[in-house]
């Protein structure tokens, strides 16, 4: 668990939103589906983020079957969408959609509907079907330098808003990685090998976060992932602000 | 293959570096407790840049961050809470950052320092897109409410000239308005914030959430990057520009070659560059994955800053025994004009080897290639040729000041003609309203947006698929010299065709 402290004085004490008004199970961003469940894929991947859009409302909806303890089994199960190297932020969310403001709930949803729309037409299977707002692929598998290019936070936000829960790439560009963690929108996981060459779009995969493992059920292969480390708890909590409040690390007055 | 004297990483001892000590710690706050990283991926196992024996020798990036975090020293890999001197945002990311700031700090919260937040609408300005226009209004409302000192507003979109406060492209405006100062920490909600490193400061791009945090707290948690050193020596040939130098470097190390690292540019060639050329160099650091770029401040820097800023500043310089991850040396006199072919900034090729590539248009603009020096360079080529362009040639000055320079500055050797006159005689499009323009596509009605699958030579910074609009568009990144030369022939062209 990261030791995260800062001397920010009274800044955070001014926050007016309710803290911890929800059961900790739901505050934790874990998927509770066990790998062996026979739940139809569509249901098992419907996992909404715990995301406070305004001080009063907290948008939560979880279609959960088995519900495990929030601190043990963290698994993501669903279909994967495979992309290549150097997927830059213009491909993840083209600039023309940046007029949408992510902190606005309606525009957040709209942003999600455009996730990965910038991929060239060589990607014949699209991340989101036409006339759909959400993706059926909860896991994106990429190659090197995922998220390179612009610093636009709209990139991880669009992926998260679309319904993705994790990206598994060989490596990341730093601003994209940082934005993913700060927003808590998706888990930016790293693979040890080039799994983008061994998985195909539509494969069923499970990620067991606690074991840093990805299982491709379609091919039967398992892959080691690099541990998410300190970034994990931040994303679990829902981003850097939520994490700082949840862990009680923000002093209520000047240190 | 571009010829360059490329030496393997050599020792890190550099001669002739000045060594300024750190200013004394301000001791305003109690020392922060030790922080463990929450931001970087585990896999970045960088070579340790220091050993016990050189604990206090630091690169200039390390020194800037140490001073800003009120610590006597820092080593790469360490995390530090860094005080921010300037936070910049624009119309695309500002509203989102403001939304997060208000959500997290409270609707009635005040920014940490109304003089350190610089808000610059520049991306989607001259458009009928209602959301884009609304985003500028959001910035205005916030600036009024917070009494933000530096807000470069625009209200009349039909004529940029009647908006006295409006500047244009944020990175150029920051420099022209004196917000870039040696030794400081400047953050911006834009990846090309690294441009400001040309002033010998730490400057990098951040997302909305980080910016929302800084708006309230005035600090940010950063991991200290190790530094790659690029030594550029030799006399700059008169057909080469800083754009060629950075394309050379990115082609060398790839789009991920500097990920999580600082890029330090030194050497006699760098010292000979003016500020705008240094900005071009640092601007594309992010295209190599770099965290920040730095050029040591010198008399060129100080002269530029005269009359622009009244705030005191103290430059810092890398220690003689500072450790660098690697050092790359280039003999600039041997380099040739380059392009980055579609679809990656590291897809380097010699301009002369692409002379059979037929093009449909040329774009000269953006923070990378739309500054006064860039237009002067393009004008030089058109002047040398005396002919007209063969393809539509779009000119988008970065800021109001650049636009005015284009219309008033005399081009050397032209007998008193301004850039604008030369452009007109060459048949270029009329210089457009200053903004980011079509560098990143933008709303569909953006001037010079690539709406068809065409081939474009551009002085901008990225050429990933769809960057300027159409997903099948082919963008060749180039210097203003190369762009102008290509406009004259209708093919990708080495500027030596006209400049020698």
- Name the least confident of A71-75, B221-225, B470-474: A71-75
Task: Check residues A8 and A122 and name the one with the higher pLDDT.
Answer: A122
A193 touches chain B (CB under 8 A): no
- Mean pLDDT over A154-168 rounds to 97
Nearest Cα of chain B lies from the Cα of A39 at a distance, in angstroms, of: 32
Which of B5-9, B48-52, B368-372 bottoms out in mean pLDDT, i.e. has the lowest? B5-9
pLDDT of residue B41: 52
Q: What is the mean pLDDT of residues B404-428?
A: 97
State how far residue B214 is from chain A, nearest Cα, in angstroms: 11
C-alpha span between A170 and B460 (Å, rounded): 28
Is residue A228 less than 8 Å (CB to CB) from chain B?
yes
Q: Which CATH class is domain B59-224?
A: alpha beta
A230: confidence class by pLDDT, cuts 50, 70, 90: confident
* Contact assignment for B41 to A12 by CB distance below 8 Å: no
Under an 8 A CB cutoff, do A240 and B209 touch? yes
Q: Could you report how far apart the first and last alpha carbons of chain A are, in Å?
A: 22
Please report the pLDDT score of residue A26 as a whole number: 27
* Token duo for residue B335: 């380099």
CB distance from A85 to chain B under 8 Å?
no
| Average pLDDT rounded to a whole number, residues B369-386 | 98
Report chain B residues whose CB lies below 8 A from the CB of A253.
none
> Considering only CA atoms, which of B372, B364, B388, B386 is closest in space to residue B448?
B364
A250: confidence class by pLDDT, cuts 50, 70, 90: low
ipTM confidence: 0.79
Alpha carbons within 13 angstroms on the beta-carbon side of residue A108 total 21
B209 touches chain A (CB under 8 A): yes
Share of chain B above pLDDT 70, in %: 89
Residue whose pair of structure tokens reads 């730095």 in the numeric block = B294
What pLDDT, in 10s, does the model give residues B184-207?
Answer: 999 999 999 999 999 999 999 999
Residues B437 and B399: beta-carbon distance below 8 Å? no
With CB atoms and an 8 Å threshold, state whether B99 touches A234: no
Closest CA to B370 of B86, B87, B172, B155: B172
pLDDT tops 50 at residue B37: no
- Which residues of A fall within a CB distance of 8 Å from B194? none
pLDDT band at residue B39 using 50, 70 and 90 as cut-offs: low
Domain A75-228 sits in CATH at 3.20.19.10
Average pLDDT over residues B431-459: 96
User: What is the distance between the alpha carbons of residues B251 and B274, in angstroms, rounded to a whole number?
Assistant: 23
B93 near A CB under 8 A: yes
Cβ distance of A90 and B462 shorter than 8 Å:
yes
Q: How confident is the model at residue B56 (pLDDT cuts 50, 70, 90)?
A: confident
Average pLDDT of chain B, as a whole number? 91
Q: Is B96 on the interface with A (CB under 8 A)?
A: yes
Lowest mean pLDDT among A156-170, B49-63, B453-467: B49-63
Residue range A125-142: average pLDDT?
A: 96
Minimum CA–CA partner of A234 in chain B: B38
In this predicted structure, which of B17-26, B173-182, B272-281, B438-447 has the lowest mean pLDDT?
A: B17-26
Q: What is the pLDDT of residue B470?
A: 95
Tokens found for residue B65: 């961050």
Report chain A's C-alpha Rg in angstroms: 18
Among candidate residues A58, A93, A116, the one with its CA nearest the CA of residue A238:
A58
Residues A183-222: pLDDT tens digits? Answer: 999 999 999 999 999 999 999 999 999 999 999 999 999 9
Given a cut of 80, whether residue B379 has pLDDT beyond it is: yes
Residue appearing with tokens 């940046």: A98
Here the tokens at position B184 are: 């400081």
Evaluate if residue B24 carries a pLDDT over 50: no
What are the residue boundaries of the structural domains of chain B, listed by start? 59-224, 226-301+324-335, 339-497
Q: Is A15's Cβ below 8 Å from some Cβ in B? A: yes
Q: Compare CB distances from A172 to B41, B132, B443 and report the shortest one's residue.
A: B41
Q: DSSP label at B459?
A: S
Minimal CA separation from A225 to chain B, in Å: 10
Residues 6+ apart with CB under 8 A from A138: A45, A47, A76, A77, A78, A79, A163, A164, A165, A166
Question: Quick check: A1 contacting B, CB < 8 Å?
Answer: no
Say if residue B38's pLDDT is above 90. Answer: no
Write out pLDDT tens, residues B234-273: 999 999 999 999 999 999 999 999 999 999 999 999 999 9
Residue A88, beta-bridge partner list = A148
Q: If you average pLDDT over each of A251-255, B23-27, B319-323, which comes out highest?
A: B319-323
> What pLDDT shows up at residue A228?
87
Query: Which of B:299-338 have CB within 8 Å of A?
Result: none
Residue B10 has pLDDT above 90, yes or no: no
Protein fold of B339-497: Aconitase; domain 3 (3.30.499)
Question: In Å, how far is A175's CA from the nearest CA of chain B?
Answer: 7
CB B53 within 8 A of CB B94: no
Whether B465 sits inside 8 A of A120 (CB atoms) is yes
Contact indicator for B382, B406 with CB cutoff of 8 Å: no
Count the residues in chain B: 500
User: Confidence class of residue B466 from pLDDT cuts 50, 70 and 90?
Assistant: very high
Q: Please, what's the b/e burial string for B196-205 (b: 16 or more CB within 10 A of its CB; e: otherwise)?
A: bbbbbbbbbb
| 8 Å CB contact between B184 and B201 | yes
Q: How would residue B98 be classed by pLDDT, with cut points 50, 70 and 90?
A: very high
**Mean pLDDT, range B16-36, rounded to an integer:** 39
On chain A, the residues whose CB falls within 8 A of the CB of B38 are 2, 4, 181, 230-231, 233-234, 240, 243
With H, G, I as helix, E, B as strand and everything else as coil, classify residue B315.
coil
Confirm whether B59-224 and B339-497 share one CATH topology: yes
Taking residues B286-295, report their average pLDDT.
97
Q: Which of A129, A131, A136, A186 is nearest to A159 (CA)?
A: A186
Q: How far is B152 from chain A (nearest CA, A)?
A: 19
Residues of A in contact with B33 (CB under 8 A): 3, 5, 7
pLDDT at A252: 35
- Considering only the beta carbons, identify the residue of A144, A151, A226 that sits closest to B42: A226
What does the domain layout of chain A look like in residue ranges?
A: 75-228
- The verdict on domain B226-301+324-335 having CATH code 3.40.1060.10 is yes
CB–CB of A173 and B289 under 8 A? yes
Reply yes or no on whether the pLDDT at A6 is more than 70.
Answer: no
Residue A57 has pLDDT above 60, yes or no: no
Q: Which of B110, B210, B208, B207 is nearest to A103 (CA)?
A: B208
Interface probe, candidates B45, B207, B342, chain A, greatest A C-beta count within 10 A? B207
**pLDDT level of residue A248 (50, 70, 90 thresholds):** confident
For residue A223, name the pLDDT band (cuts at 50, 70, 90).
very high
Considering only alpha carbons, which residue of chain B is nearest residue A149? B287
Whole-number percent of chain B with pLDDT over 90: 88
Quote the tokens at residue B277.
Answer: 């050329």
**With 90 as the cut, is the pLDDT of residue A36 above it?**
no
| CB proximity under 8 Å: B 237-266 to A | 255-256, 259-260
Nearest CB partner across the interface for B38, out of A153, A171, A230:
A230
Give just the sign of the alpha carbon dihedral B422, B423, B427, B431. Answer: negative
Axis-axis angle for helices A105-113, A154-162 (nearest 10): 80
Q: Which residues of B touch A103 (CB under 8 A)?
A: 95-96, 98-100, 103, 208
């Amino acid at each position: 668990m990261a030791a995260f402290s800062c001397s920010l004085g009274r800044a955070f004490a001014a926050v007016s939103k309710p803290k911890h008004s929800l059961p900790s199970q739901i505050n934790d961003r874990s998927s509770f589906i066990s790998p062996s469940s026979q739940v139809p894929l569509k249901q098992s991947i419907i996992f909404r983020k715990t995301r406070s859009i305004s001080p009063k409302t907290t948008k939560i909806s979880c279609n959960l079957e088995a519900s495990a303890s929030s601190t043990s089994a963290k698994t993501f199960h669903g279909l994967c969408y495979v992309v290549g190297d150097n997927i830059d932020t213009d491909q993840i969310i083209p600039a023309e959609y940046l007029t949408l403001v992510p902190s606005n709930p309606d525009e957040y949803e709209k942003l999600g509907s455009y996730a990965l729309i910038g991929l060239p037409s060589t990607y014949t299977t699209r991340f989101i079907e036409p006339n759909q707002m959400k993706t059926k692929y909860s896991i994106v598998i990429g190659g090197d330098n995922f998220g390179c290019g612009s610093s636009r936070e709209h990139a991880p936000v669009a992926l998260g808003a679309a319904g993705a829960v994790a990206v598994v790439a060989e490596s990341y560009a730093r601003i994209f990685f940082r934005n993913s963690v700060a927003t808590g929108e998706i888990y930016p996981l790293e693979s040890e090998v080039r799994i983008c060459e061994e998985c195909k779009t539509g494969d069923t995969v499970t990620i067991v976060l606690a074991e840093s493992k990805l299982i491709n059920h379609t091919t039967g292969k398992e892959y080691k992932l690099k541990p998410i480390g300190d970034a994990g708890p931040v994303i679990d909590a829902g981003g850097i602000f939520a994490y700082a409040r949840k862990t009680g690390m923000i002093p209520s007055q000047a240190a | 293959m571009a010829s360059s004297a490329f030496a393997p990483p050599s020792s890190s001892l550099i001669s002739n570096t000045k060594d300024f000590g750190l200013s004394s710690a301000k001791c305003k706050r109690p020392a922060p407790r030790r922080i463990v990283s929450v931001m970087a991926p585990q896999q970045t196992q960088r070579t340790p840049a220091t050993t016990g024996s050189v604990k206090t020798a630091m690169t200039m990036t390390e020194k800037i961050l140490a001073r800003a975090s009120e610590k006597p020293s820092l080593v790469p890999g360490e995390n530090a809470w860094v005080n921010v001197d300037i936070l910049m945002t624009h119309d695309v990311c500002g509203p989102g950052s403001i939304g997060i700031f208000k959500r997290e700090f409270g609707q009635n919260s005040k920014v940490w320092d109304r003089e350190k937040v610089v808000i610059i609408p520049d991306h989607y300005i001259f458009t009928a897109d209602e959301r884009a226009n609304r985003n500028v209004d959001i910035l205005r409302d916030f600036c009024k409410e917070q009494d933000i000192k530096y807000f470069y507003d625009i209200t009349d979109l039909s004529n940029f000239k009647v908006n006295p406060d409006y500047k244009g492209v944020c990175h150029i405006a920051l420099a022209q308005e004196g917000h870039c100062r040696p030794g400081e920490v400047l953050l911006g909600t834009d990846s090309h914030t690294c441009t400001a490193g040309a002033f010998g400061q730490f400057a990098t791009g951040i997302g909305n959430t980080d910016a929302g945090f800084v708006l309230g707290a005035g600090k940010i948690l950063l991991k200290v990057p190790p530094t790659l050193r690029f030594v550029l020596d030799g006399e700059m040939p008169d057909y080469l520009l800083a754009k060629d130098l950075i394309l050379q470097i990115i082609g060398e190390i790839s789009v991920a070659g500097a990920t999580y690292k600082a890029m330090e540019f030194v050497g006699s060639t760098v010292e000979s560059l003016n500020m705008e050329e240094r900005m071009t160099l640092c601007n594309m650091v992010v295209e190599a994955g770099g965290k920040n770029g730095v050029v040591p401040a010198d008399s060129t820097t100080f002269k530029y800053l005269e009359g622009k800023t009244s705030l005191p500043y103290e430059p810092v310089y890398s220690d003689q025994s500072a450790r660098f991850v690697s050092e790359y040396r280039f003999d600039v006199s041997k380099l040739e004009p380059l392009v980055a072919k579609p679809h990656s900034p590291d897809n380097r090729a010699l301009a002369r080897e692409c002379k059979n590539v037929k093009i449909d248009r040329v774009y000269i603009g953006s923070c990378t290639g739309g500054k006064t020096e860039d237009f002067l360079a393009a004008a030089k080529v058109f002047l040398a040729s005396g002919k007209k362009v063969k393809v539509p040639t779009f000119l988008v000055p970065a800021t109001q000041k650049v636009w005015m320079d284009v219309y008033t500055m005399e081009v050397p050797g032209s007998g008193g003609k301004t850039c604008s006159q030369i452009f007109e005689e060459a048949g270029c499009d009329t210089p457009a309203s200053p903004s980011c323009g079509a560098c990143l596509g933008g709303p569909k009605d953006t001037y010079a947006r690539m709406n068809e699958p065409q081939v474009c030579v551009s002085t901008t910074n990225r050429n990933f698929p769809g960057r300027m609009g159409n997903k099948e568009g082919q963008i060749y990144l180039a210097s203003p010299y190369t762009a102008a030369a290509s406009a004259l022939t209708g093919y990708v062209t080495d500027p030596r065709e006209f400049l020698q």
